[in-house]
């Protein structure tokens, strides 16, 4: 049984952001977002809403198709990992500079 407070209807998301349900279906087919099917309707878990909103912005603002969104998200993930590593190295370096 699904806790309805934990999930948001794809129809609601599409209506709210004025996008086609086929766009969200494409994201699901590419395994960029996981959809749950219950009571003849698709839902997304609320923990994934931020990710879906990010993909909608990339699609809308940059005119990138779902396949391209996958590439963009992978590159952004790598950039964020590099930034974390850079910050970690800066922190380690500052320990030696303060000696």
pLDDT score recorded for residue 2: 60
**Which residues have CB under 8 Å from 13's CB, separation 6+?**
19, 24, 44, 49, 52
- Boundaries of domain holding 18: 4-97
pLDDT score recorded for residue 5: 81
Mean pLDDT for the stretch of residues 89-97: 90
Structure tokens at 24: 């969200």
Q: Buried b vs exposed e over 19-37: b needs ≥16 C-beta within 10 Å?
A: beeebbebbbeeebbebee
Structural domain tally of the chain?
Answer: 1
First-to-final CA distance of the chain: 59
pLDDT tens-digit readout, 13-50: 999 999 999 999 999 999 999 999 999 999 999 999 99
Instruction: For residues 36 and 8, give the distance between their C-alpha atoms in angstroms, rounded to a whole number.
Output: 10
| Percentage of the chain modeled with pLDDT above 90 | 88
CATH number at residue 41: 1.10.1660.10
pLDDT of 59 strictly over 60: yes
Which residue in this structure is represented by tokens 């998301």? 13
């Amino acid at each position: 049984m699904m806790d309805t407070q934990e999930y948001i209807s794809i129809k609601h998301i599409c209506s709210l952001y004025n996008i086609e349900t086929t766009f969200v279906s494409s994201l699901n087919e590419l395994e960029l977002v996981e959809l749950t099917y219950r009571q003849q309707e698709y839902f997304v878990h609320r923990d994934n809403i931020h990710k879906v909103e990010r993909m909608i912005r990339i699609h809308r603002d940059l005119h990138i198709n779902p396949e391209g969104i996958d590439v963009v998200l992978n590159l952004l993930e790598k950039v964020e990992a590099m930034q974390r590593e850079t910050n970690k190295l800066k922190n380690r370096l500052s320990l030696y500079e303060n000696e």
